[in-house]
Structure 1
Amino acid sequence: MKVLAAALTLILSLSLAEGVMVCYYGSWAVYRQGDGKFDVEDIDPGICTHIVFGFAGLGTDNKIKVLDPWNELCDNYGKCAFDRFTALKHKNTNLQALLAVGGWNEGSQKYSQMAADATKRQTFITSTVEMLKEHNFDGLDLDWEYPTQRGGAPEDKVNFVTLMQELKVALHAEGLLLTVAVSAGKETFEAAYDIPAIAQEVDLINLMSYDLHGAWEDYTHHQSGLYMYPEDTGDNIYLNQDYAVNAWINGGMPSTKIALGVPLYGRCWSLDNEAEHGYYAPASQPGPSGPFTNSPGFMGYNEICDNIQTDGWTVEVAIGANEPHAYHMPTSRIWCSYDDAASVAIKAAYAKEKNLAGMMVWSIETDDFKGKCHSREFHLIKTMVEAFSGSEITPPPTDPTTTPDPNATTLSPHTTPNTPPPDGVCQAPGINPDPNNCHHYWLCSQNASGGYDATEEPCAPNTLFNTMNYICDWDYVVCAIDGACPNDCP
């Protein structure tokens, strides 16, 4: 046990020497079209210290659950994304590959029920360790959004710590890391987390210091402002990264265990009046969808920067802010708050000054990963790494030997047969929408008899299946898409 603990300390210290760069990967990006499609091999393994696969879920049997078996597993002629993801470590010997469980679409209630029962917790933990080891992951990122919230119970605050304690023991016994994605919203983190107790259990927290504002509000604002905007009043004075960082540190989390989250996307509105286009401008509707992400009120940085270059969007940085916003008049009246290279560099310098562990991004597939807007690919991530470390990006270390590693994970060759024809609810392998019901979707996998096996997957409360983006999304977002969910939208 002492040897494994020392190994984990070494792993983290190697990363902390120049700062961690935690890169989440939203695996559903593989279903996007055109230049937005992003698969495992599109990840640059040399620019991140930790890559996190999003997401696994929690099954009704309290075991960790693969959410898209056809994409993520090799079984039933699947695409082996888990194994391909962890195999990226062969290209960077210092890279750590983690599996995230949870996420917004998973909801909170089932995690609350699992954490409240010792037997259910053990079932979850045992199955998690087995899955991590089977696919050569280096640890777990727990992304329960959020204890005590969204159908959770007041007891979650205590039960979350108990779950963390038991996870830490089980994971560290196998030399695996435990990281946690946590809220930056004052109302949420004060209710959800016993910070000093969590600090004793985690190797790192990923502070989700974004989505602080968005189209669920009827006015414009920046979703990830570093500091309070001068005109903020009421609870809005707490909705900034600096407040969240200080609150977590003052609450008992060591600064060196905090990775500061930066969004590689923007939150967008449709302005009510084109003459008002600053902060707090009236905006009662989400902005239109981007061509790749297909989610109203949301655009990837790759979509925003392309619009700025090709469609003449106006870019401004408000007085008293560090981050840009962009708008386009008069046809679309779209207004997006986002981060660019200048603002992420400022945030990285801030993180360095605060002695934080480093940076985190959600998510790697919406950076300018093709280098269409800049002279290099993944410009925002690379800018953060350089600003935090004080040195330019260099190629990752490689294994100098040519002798095959007997412990290395290799993918077993398998033959993908012809895709079976549509059969009932299954039109193709993988995720399939239900054209008559957006409250669920179907997971379809090929079977040995040449047909499909289908599993029904419900969407969490207040979400509907986004048939353009192949995820469960906010109901108001899905219903803003023309023709989406005619039976489930008003």
Structure 2
Amino acid sequence: MKLLLPLLGCLALSLSLTEGVMVCYYGSWAVYRQGDGKFDIEDIDPNICTHLIFGFAGLGYDNKIRVLDPWNELCDNYGKCGYDRFNALKKKNTNLVTILAVGGWNEGSAKYSKMAASAATRKIFVDSSVELLKEHGFDGLDMDWEYPTQRGGAPEDKENFILLLKDLKEALHANGMMLTAAVSAGKLTIDPAYDVPGMAQQLDMVNLMAYDLHGAWDTYTHHQSGLYAHPDDTGDNLYLNQDFAVRYWIEKGMPASKITQGVPLYGRCWTLKNGDNTGYYAPAPQPGMAGPYTRTPGFLGYNEICEGILDGWTVVNDPAMHEPYVYSLEHNRIWCSYDDQDSVKTKANYAKEHGLAGMMVWSIETDDFKGKCGRTFNLIKTMVETFTGSEITPGPTPSPTTPDPDATTTKPVTKPPTPPPTDKCKAPGINADPGNCHHYYLCSQNTEGGYDAVVEECAPGTLFNANAYICDWDHVVCAIPGMCPNDCP
């Protein structure tokens, strides 16, 4: 096994998967999905990932780390204690490493740029992050600033990002915690945003987001996470593949042993212009129809795609590529590029051959966790078994005689009835504003029998998707009939 954390003492990765790492992001808003798509913390199998990353925390305007969904993530005000329940998964596998991700696409970049610009504001962020991590029992922080110098950032972000990582590393390592970062796979982002040698000095691990390389923002079909370029690729499209991204990060100065290769557990989807061309580069000016669980045009979870395949969708393995695509002319001419068991096996072999630390997925809740198309979490398990060369076995659990440090003799709190709906809050948690999609409300139950509502702004270029409970691309949200009539053309 590669020793990723030589400075972290007790966190030197005594992992159940002894030949590599399997990093699994968890999109916490999946708890709001409907039917068989709903996925809560207890649906996570703690024995199939070495690192679980909770997505996401955010950044407040006071430069402190901020809990983005207090009702779901904290215990305050009769909340659901998501952070604590997430970290309690370590009781089922004591080798599990839990990390809190801060940032993400929906958070934007501008406020991170401002925070990183001075030592004083960086210290506020670092101190508040360490405090939050320690309070809830996380083992580290994943810095997911998307992206320095981009999306309202400043040219000096490239240098300031390194200063921020340096401050974080010192504080986290002093507390026995690790520092990771989610990074772009796109050359046009990597070049202006990242001082790669500087990042290599500060980060324990880099999670390479080698997906979303194509999507409905293109007007033609393509694979969103192709391992290699398509024969017809020209120009910048020659850079939009995993092999280029991995080699480029290594060439720029990131040790292969610190890189995890990201694989999507979802597909990017289009609506074919007509049924005459169903291959790569087929004209497709609109996103594909939304799925029953993720409910976002242009996006289907692998669990939704495999259900479509069971319903008769056509699967194609183009000999020019290593990944499948699926289409159905009967279902609104949908076309999706995605990864299946064979393609994730190919990618895991690639990562192993290139000396990478292991694999990473976004995100665990869209694998086939119900096992409708085979064994549960088959894509994750396939990657682990391919990379390690051995079958997954459960990690160690605490001895029954070991006292539970979280045991308490206090009586459980009796939760009062859910308050009646108000104009802002229909229920605890995330609530849409029907009249304004540029923001949403975070609603928490108070001790007076009502709601406290906080307005949360969506980042520039995004609108609130009331079906998916996230801020999403504005063009995606505006493709949903009837949504955001005041904010869409």
| TM-score, normalization by structure 1 | 0.97
Deviates more, 1:426-435 or 1:296-305: 426-435
Output the CA distance in 1 between the equivalents of 2:409 and 2:40: 18
Q: For 1:134-175, what per-residue CA distance to the aligned partner results, in whole angstroms no more than 9, with x for missing partners?
A: 000000000000001000011000000000000000000000
- TM-superposed deviation, 1:446: 0.8
Q: Which amino acid aligns with 1:90?
A: K
Tell me which residue corresponds to 1:105: 106
Tell me which residue corresponds to 1:368: 368
Tell me which residue corresponds to 1:353: 353
Output the CA distance in 1 between the equivalents of 2:128 and 2:413: 25
Tell me which residue corresponds to 1:52: 53
Taking a change above 3 Å as real, the CA distance of residues 52 and 488 of structure 1, as seen in their structure-2 partners, is same
Q: For 1:389-416, what per-residue CA distance to the aligned partner results, in whole angstroms no more than 9, with x for missing partners?
A: 0011112222234221437899983322
Alignment map for 1:194-205 (pairs within 5 Å): 194-205=195-206
Deviates more, 1:195-204 or 1:5-14: 5-14
Contact 1:29 1:37 (C-alpha < 8 Å) held by counterparts? yes
Tell me which residue corresponds to 2:227: 226
Tell me which residue corresponds to 1:238: 239
- TM-superposed deviation, 1:427: 1.4
Output the CA distance in 2 between the equivalents of 1:331 and 1:366: 21
Taking a change above 3 Å as real, the CA distance of residues 100 and 412 of structure 1, as seen in their structure-2 partners, is farther
Q: For 1:174-193, what per-residue CA distance to the aligned partner results, in whole angstroms no more than 9, with x for missing partners?
A: 00110000000000011110
Output the CA distance in 1 between the equivalents of 2:172 and 2:255: 21
Contact 1:258 1:356 (C-alpha < 8 Å) held by counterparts? yes
Alignment map for 1:70-81 (pairs within 5 Å): 70-81=71-82
Alignment map for 1:390-409 (pairs within 5 Å): 390-406=389-405
Q: Which runs of 5+ in 2 are unaligned?
A: none
- TM-superposed deviation, 1:301: 0.1
Taking a change above 3 Å as real, the CA distance of residues 188 and 242 of structure 1, as seen in their structure-2 partners, is same
* 1:470 partnered with 2:469: yes
Output the CA distance in 1 between the equivalents of 2:63 and 2:412: 32
Q: Which amino acid aligns with 2:187?
A: K
Alignment map for 1:14-25 (pairs within 5 Å): 14=15, 17-25=18-26
Contact 2:200 2:253 (C-alpha < 8 Å) held by counterparts? yes
Alignment map for 1:225-304 (pairs within 5 Å): 225-304=226-305
Output the CA distance in 1 between the equivalents of 2:169 and 2:406: 24
Q: Which amino acid aligns with 1:342?
A: D
- TM-superposed deviation, 1:13: 6.5
Taking a change above 3 Å as real, the CA distance of residues 411 and 441 of structure 1, as seen in their structure-2 partners, is farther
Q: Which amino acid aligns with 1:325?
A: Y
Question: Residue 294 of structure 1 aligns to a residue in which SS?
Answer: coil
Q: For 1:96-152, what per-residue CA distance to the aligned partner results, in whole angstroms no more than 9, with x for missing partners?
A: 010000000000000000001111111000000000000000000000000010000
Taking a change above 3 Å as real, the CA distance of residues 380 and 416 of structure 1, as seen in their structure-2 partners, is same
Taking a change above 3 Å as real, the CA distance of residues 140 and 483 of structure 1, as seen in their structure-2 partners, is same
Output the CA distance in 2 between the equivalents of 1:33 and 1:407: 32
Q: Which runs of 5+ in 1 are unaligned?
A: none
Output the CA distance in 1 between the equivalents of 2:377 and 2:410: 27
Taking a change above 3 Å as real, the CA distance of residues 411 and 276 of structure 1, as seen in their structure-2 partners, is farther
Contact 2:16 2:395 (C-alpha < 8 Å) held by counterparts? no
Q: Which amino acid aligns with 1:266?
A: G
Output the CA distance in 1 between the equivalents of 2:119 and 2:196: 22
Output the CA distance in 2 between the equivalents of 1:77 and 1:13: 36
Tell me which residue corresponds to 1:186: 187
Tell me which residue corresponds to 2:334: 334
Tell me which residue corresponds to 1:455: 454
Runs of 4+ residues over 4 Å off in structure 1? 13-16, 407-412
Tell me which residue corresponds to 1:487: 486
Contact 1:50 1:98 (C-alpha < 8 Å) held by counterparts? yes
Tell me which residue corresponds to 1:83: 84
- TM-superposed deviation, 1:352: 0.4
Deviates more, 1:448-457 or 1:405-414: 405-414
Contact 1:101 1:140 (C-alpha < 8 Å) held by counterparts? yes
Q: Which amino acid aligns with 1:335?
A: W
Contact 2:14 2:95 (C-alpha < 8 Å) held by counterparts? no
Q: For 1:280-316, what per-residue CA distance to the aligned partner results, in whole angstroms no more than 9, with x for missing partners?
A: 0000000000000000000000000000012x11111
Output the CA distance in 2 between the equivalents of 1:72 and 1:113: 26
- TM-superposed deviation, 1:37: 0.1
Output the CA distance in 2 between the equivalents of 1:193 and 1:145: 11
Deviates more, 1:7-16 or 1:120-129: 7-16
Alignment map for 1:69-218 (pairs within 5 Å): 69-218=70-219
The CA RMSD measured in Å over matched residues stands at 1.6
Identity %: 71
Contact 1:5 1:175 (C-alpha < 8 Å) held by counterparts? no
Contact 1:16 1:357 (C-alpha < 8 Å) held by counterparts? no
Output the CA distance in 2 between the equivalents of 1:152 and 1:222: 29
Output the CA distance in 1 between the equivalents of 2:262 and 2:419: 42
Q: Which amino acid aligns with 2:464?
A: F
How many residues are treated as equivalent by the alignment? Answer: 485
Taking a change above 3 Å as real, the CA distance of residues 409 and 134 of structure 1, as seen in their structure-2 partners, is farther
